[in-house]
A and B are shown apart, each in its own frame.
Chain A
């Protein structure tokens, strides 16, 4: 479903005299099969967001080849947009001044979702994410937890085969977080939606991801199951400590 083949992305920063090239992502290769639930971890600045932007077609890679749902993201951005759902936890896709239901209606038009399919999908998501209480509230008045549920709904209205989540639980309280995780787990299990999740909350990873990839300094440093990840640092017991060790020590051999 997602194929990344020796992808690199560099940025030039600074003015003429001090110009340097920053390699945000280098020689990155991985494959995600349909129906997988993959966690994508890395310290701040490791290249996670750059990867996501390339997978969604927002940024073109400077080298290598990417295929998502059979399309080259940078070239077929709009065609790809109809096949994938994206949630940026720190941003919102909803319209600040419009009630939630109007945002959804607009998204229906943008994605050209059939009215009947849309109704069914929205009813299902409204039930699962408990949106009924604030459907008519303007987005600017929603709490973070409500807004995030609205954003996840917005990303799924067109029934995408792939869902890319960039920190979907950031800032959520324990109850909202648990509800969000349960929803994502069911989405993956019941609909077979392929999910790629980046997060700094290792609870998300432990509860949801069968497979974990770790990126550091723009390179993939680990790709395997959660148990494999634990086994890399056997003397640590909690997953947080394992990951902290991996972030500070740099590369690991899986």
Chain B
């Protein structure tokens, strides 16, 4: 908790960057909303969404960009592996992964305030978004967002640790970016994907970052099943992260003098 609090404060040093991000997210949200409106006017009821659902989905996904760090990065870890500063992190009496998770959740909460609220408010003012009536839905939505953040962290942590093996992690990062944007639902809602591609996309971890929390918000999915799906991926990826951290300590040259 305390570490998350400091993560929040550390990132609050970069308010201008967060606000610039919020502005960009808002502008792109409006652009995407018009594209989706055009699509749903041509094909009403597509994928079980009406126009209001689709526009709400669009602004939710824009709001997730910051906290879920959909464009990758956000962790200083890979840079620290490259420069060897990771050595400092490893002499602390804490699990590297849990420590980074706490710090990253602090970052996510900060961005939730600065980067997620503005586009959502603007979207609601311009288009009128769907808002759940039941407070229970809001609670489940909050839980789903939190799980999404953990899945997002666990995935990015694995990508960052890949720097231990590949010297420069830019390749893995851009591959991860592509997969995340496409399979999270960021580009298009996943339930638009046909047949096996749709099932595959729905089963992969990235859907836990955008599609699942958005569906929980819109009430399009069984809540317990959705949260269970996210929790299972969070647990699996964190477990893998723990294994990879161990392997890194045994195999890897920590760079620098």
Does B223 sit within 8 A of A, measured CB to CB? Answer: no
Does A132 sit within 8 A of B, measured CB to CB? Answer: no
List which B82-99 residues lie within 8 A (CB) of chain A.
84-85, 87-88, 90-95, 99
CB-based contact B90/A57 at 8 Å: yes
CB-based contact B10/A53 at 8 Å: no
CB-based contact A90/B257 at 8 Å: yes
Does B242 sit within 8 A of A, measured CB to CB? Answer: no
CB-based contact B87/A58 at 8 Å: yes
* Interchain pairs with CB closer than 8 A, number: 67
Does B3 sit within 8 A of A, measured CB to CB? Answer: yes
Does A86 sit within 8 A of B, measured CB to CB? Answer: yes
Residue of B nearest to A106 (CB): B6
Does B256 sit within 8 A of A, measured CB to CB? Answer: yes
List which A31-63 residues lie within 8 A (CB) of chain B.
44, 49, 53, 56-60
Contacts of A78 in B (CB 8 A): 93-95
CB-based contact B10/A81 at 8 Å: no
> Per-residue CB proximity of A4-35 to B under 8 Å, as 1/0?
00000001010000000000000000000000
CB-based contact A86/B2 at 8 Å: no
Contacts of B2 in A (CB 8 A): 106, 109
Contacts of A112 in B (CB 8 A): 93
CB-based contact A91/B93 at 8 Å: no
CB-based contact A53/B87 at 8 Å: yes
Contacts of B87 in A (CB 8 A): 53, 58, 88, 91
Complex Cα spacing A59 to B254, Å: 8
Contacts of B88 in A (CB 8 A): 88, 91-93
- Given A95-B10, A97-B13, A109-B3, 12 extra CB contacts under 8 A: A56-B90, A57-B90, A77-B249, A78-B94, A81-B93, A92-B88, A93-B88, A93-B91, A95-B6, A97-B9, A102-B6, A110-B93
Question: B residues within 8 Å of A by Cβ?
Answer: 2-3, 6, 9-10, 13, 84-85, 87-88, 90-95, 99, 249-250, 253-254, 256-257
